Amino acid sequence: MALNDSLAKAFVGQPGRASELASGLYDVLVAADFAALRTHLASLFAAIPHQWHDGHPLARHEGFYASVFYSHLAALGLGLRAEDATSLGRIDLTLKFNGQVWLFEFKVVEQEPAGRALQQLKDRRYADKYRALGQPIHLIGIEFSQAQRTLVGFEVETV
């Protein structure tokens, strides 16, 4: 947790802001408030200094965005699984929390068409792995733009 907390603070660039965002995130997840989650993510990524994007090849890949969000969640000590393997592919990030399952797929719109993140979760039937738990499963497609350096798409479907 300490390592992920340090990484989250480094990604955001403002330690106080990172801690504030992390505590707010926990409340958002408990409430399963998807509008607040979108706002939270937008704020998190808006806090990343522009220099970290300029000429940095990592910022062009979905793994950059997924890693920032992963570190942010991991700093809370939540049960996460990155690159969660299924029979049809890998879920970018799985969170089991508060009697619910959250499946996240991240895309960069310059590399994939808009709407592709949620569609991949559905097409590859990623929820099937967790249906036997009898818990709500939230499919969350999150899309970023490397040019705009921000969240540009956020779709949720609960199954």
Q: Which token pair is 15?
A: 């330690």
Looking at residue 120, what is its pLDDT? Answer: 97
Q: Model pTM? A: 0.83
End-to-end distance of the chain based on CA atoms, in angstroms?
30
Domains of the chain: 2-158 (3.40.1350)
Question: Residue 94's closest CA among 54, 126, 117?
Answer: 126
Residues of the chain with pLDDT under 50: 4
Looking at residue 4, what is its pLDDT? Answer: 47
Q: Which token pair is 121?
A: 């979760």
Cα 26 to the chain's mean position, in Å? Answer: 14
Looking at residue 55, what is its pLDDT? Answer: 62
Q: What is the dihedral of CA 27, 32, 36, 38, to 10 degrees?
A: 120
